[in-house]
Chains A and B, each alone.
Chain A
Amino acid sequence: MADAFLTHEAGVREAYAAHAGELYGFALRSLGDPALAEEAVQDTFLRAWRAGDRFDPELGSLRTWLFAILRNVVIDLGRARAARPRVDGDLPEQGHEPFEEMLLNWQVEEALGRIGEQHRRVLVETYLRGRPYAEVAVELGVPEGTIKSRVYYGLKALRNALEEMGYES
């Protein structure tokens, strides 16, 4: 795919089909504006295409590369937006950390969205909402042991989803 991406519009289509959803989702999350998010995704693919010869699959996945480009695009767009209202203000520097943090948060949410509903449900209810196993068990009409088991398999599924998304622990 990498080679195709570098040389053919078909490769761009393929990369778009594989990653645009995530890129857009994250751009929307970090920019909070559908029009800006759209612009960010477009810029990302254009920059990726222009710099196609610099992509080295040996160094990382296409997805990781696209997210690295999106990161720069989002920062640029964020700066441009921040610069617009006040011309001479000291811009809040959107540094490395906040972006990486935000990306990671979003990746976990995205991964949660990819696992089965039963698994997601127990992880959300017991862990994220902090509800007792017993309560969730009653609500779902299953034994408490089943909740425990679903938490375990839910975590395994979440790990797989994150790995599929390119997350390396």
Chain B
Amino acid sequence: MKAEGCREWRERIGALVLGQLPEEERFATEAHLDGCPACRADAEALAPVASLLGRADPDRLVPAPAPPPRLGERIVSRIAAERRAERRRRTRLRLGLTAAAAAAAAAAAVTLVGSDQSTSSETVAFRSLPRGASAEATLAPRPWGSEISVRVHGFRPGTLCQVWLRRSDGKRVPAGSFRYVYDGKSDHAGLSSALAPEDAIAVGLRAGSKTFVAPLPSRSAGAGAWLIPTRPQEDT
């Protein structure tokens, strides 16, 4: 019979939490809640809803108008358009990278062509070397100037060798130095200069205290005017 009794009390809980019960009925219901955890829990669950109900405006309870019928489709197509734009942007990015790759390949091809040109690299011999000594230089064009390979033989081991390129205006452009250490295996030094081979008229080599020159052929006439004497300078 308790459940039957609770049902009666329960149906008052709505009015109770909304503050609609007459005083006497309210006291009686509250007394029941004090002794009935189940009904109390029910009341506690409904109290927050009761406190929200007052927020509603009874004159605004007409059902909200539905969104315009085509709004959903418009949103989806806007999103599809954005997605396409994004895809295009990514594609452009990819194509951009492809273009960059193509450019890099082209650059590589140029380098290869350059290498091909380097097959037309020149090898020139230094003149007026002492008997038993030989020296030659090979110049290959590089994007940054010239790659110079100097091959010497018959020098005194340990000789410091300085190399430069001479420009048509007579100026020396350094190509570096090396020490000749003949051990029977390698006698060549790889050097480089910022001057392009076609801008050089001669290769200079100072070995110890002696200077040797290897003129570069097929340069403008008169270039020889700048050549230092090919005759080795005897030093003391």
Contact = CB atoms under 8 A, between A and B. Distances in A.
Contacts of B14: 148-149, 151-156
Interface of B: 10-15, 17-18, 20, 45-46, 48-50, 52-58, 60-61, 63-68, 71-72, 74-76, 78-80, 82-83
Nearest to A109: B56
B46 A25 contact: no
B52 A162 contact: yes
B20 A38 contact: no
A55 interface: no
A71 interface: no
Contacts of A124: 56, 58, 61
The 3 closest A-B CB pairs, nearest first, are: A25-B64, A152-B14, A24-B67
Contact of B53 (A22, A38, A108, A169): A108
26 contacts: A9-B79, A17-B72, A21-B66, A22-B64, A24-B67, A29-B60, A34-B68, A38-B68, A46-B75, A49-B79, A105-B55, A108-B53, A109-B57, A112-B61, A113-B63, A120-B61, A128-B53, A128-B54, A148-B14, A149-B11, A151-B14, A152-B13, A155-B18, A155-B49, A169-B48, A169-B49
B64 A110 contact: yes
Contacts of A152: 10-15, 46
B12 A148 contact: yes
B49 A162 contact: yes
Given A20-B72, A24-B71, A155 B65 contact: no
Nearest to A17: B72
A22 to B, nearest CB: 8
B46 A156 contact: yes
A108 B50 contact: no
Q: Is the interface of A mostly helix, strand, loop or mixed?
A: helix
A28 interface: yes
A162 B49 CA distance: 9
Contacts of B54: 127-128
A34 to B, nearest CB: 8
B56 to A, nearest CB: 5
A4 interface: no
Contacts of B48: 159, 169
Contacts of B56: 105, 108-109, 112, 124, 128
Given A24-B71, A41-B67, A128-B57, 5 more contacts: A28-B65, A109-B60, A112-B56, A148-B11, A158-B53
Interface string A127-169: 1110001000000000001001101111110110010000001
Given A104-B52, A152-B11, A155-B14, A46 B82 contact: yes
A9 B18 contact: no
Contacts of A29: 60, 64
A32 B81 CA distance: 29
A50 B86 CA distance: 11
- Among B15, B64, B80, residue most surrounded by chain A Cβ atoms (within 10 Å): B64
A151 B20 contact: yes
Nearest to A105: B55
A129 B17 CA distance: 17
A148 B25 CA distance: 12
A13 B76 contact: yes
A123 interface: yes
A113 B49 contact: no
A20 B71 contact: yes
Contact of A16 (B20, B50, B72): B72
A126 B69 CA distance: 37
- Among A12, A108, A152, residue most surrounded by chain B Cβ atoms (within 10 Å): A152
